Homo-oligomer: A and B are copies of this chain.
Amino acid sequence: MDSFNSFKQWKKQCLSKIDLSKKGTIDEIIVHLVSYLNESENFFSTSSCSGRIILIDGASGSTEVQKQGCAWLFVTHQKCAKEDLISSLQKSQGDAVFKFEPFVLHVQCHRLEDAQLLHSVAINSGFRNSGITVGKKGKIIMAVRSTHCLEVPLTREGELLATEEYIDFLVEVANQKMEENKKRIDRFFSCLQHALTTDENTTNDRAEENGSVYTRRRRKGQNKTKCVITTGEDDMQSDEDDLLETGLTFF
C-alpha cells in the first residue's frame, strides 16, 4: 500500500473510533479548527484539549502530580469562578495543585513536509513547544504545544496554605491565561487557513505548469491573516528562532 493510502486508512480508522477521553467530545471552542484539519487531505487530529483550569489532589510528598491515581477536584475549559475553586479546595485530602494547561493538539500528517508546514504555523502563532514525532511505522505526528503555564501547589495533606486574597489573585491570573490561550488558538486557526490556502494554490499552480491533471480542491472565503510572531517567551529557544526565521517564507 502506498503512503497516501496507508495515511487514508489510518485517518478513516481514527475518525471512526469512539472518543475515549474523560470528556468524550471535542472542546467547543476548537470544534471548527479540528473539523478544518480533518477535512484537509493531508491531516487529521488524533487528540486535543482547548485548554483547561484544573485542581488535582495528589499523594502527599509526591514529586509531581501523577494524574493516574489522583483525584480531579475541579476542571473547567472556560474561565473559572473563585467560589468553585474554594469549595473544591475543601475536598482536598492530599497535596492539591492548581494548574492552567494550555491548548494542545496532536495532528497526524501525511508527509514530513506537511508536518513541517504545520509546525511552522504553530511556531508563528506562539506555540513554541511544538514538535514533530516520527514513529517506527512511518506515523508522523505534529504536536502543537505552548510554553504557557501555571502550576501552583495550594494544600499540603489537605491543609490550605494560601490566603483568600491570594486565591483571588490566582484565579485572575489563570483567567487571563485562558483569555490569552483563546487568542493564540484564533491566531493558529487564521495562520493555518492562510498556510493551507497558499500551499494549495502553489500546488495548483505547479500542476498547471506541469500540464498535470492533478489538482486539489481550493478553499474559498478564507481569512488570509498575516502570520507574525507576537509573543516573546523562552530565551533558551534561540535555535528554534534561528530555524524559524525563515518560517514565514517557508510555505
Contacts and interface: CB of A to CB of B under 8 A. Distances in A.
Interface of A: 21, 46-47, 49, 63-64, 66-68, 104, 106, 108, 112, 115-116, 119, 129-137, 139, 141, 143, 145, 148-153, 156, 161-163, 165-166, 169-170, 173, 176-177, 179-180, 231-240, 242-244, 246, 249-250
B64 A177 contact: yes
B131 A64 contact: no
Contacts of A108: 239
B232 A66 contact: yes
Given A67-B233, A151-B151, 10 more contacts: A21-B236, A46-B239, A47-B236, A47-B237, A63-B180, A115-B134, A129-B145, A153-B173, A161-B165, A163-B163
Contacts of A129: 129, 131, 143, 145
B239 A47 contact: yes
Contacts of A235: 67-68
- Chain copies in the assembly? 2
Q: Is the interface of A mostly helix, strand, loop or mixed?
A: mixed
Nearest to A107: B239
A132 B135 contact: no
Nearest to A20: B238
Contacts of A21: 236
Contacts of A63: 176-177, 179-180
B161 A163 contact: yes
Contacts of A240: 106, 133, 141, 143
Contacts of A173: 153
Nearest to A48: B236
Contacts of A244: 133, 135
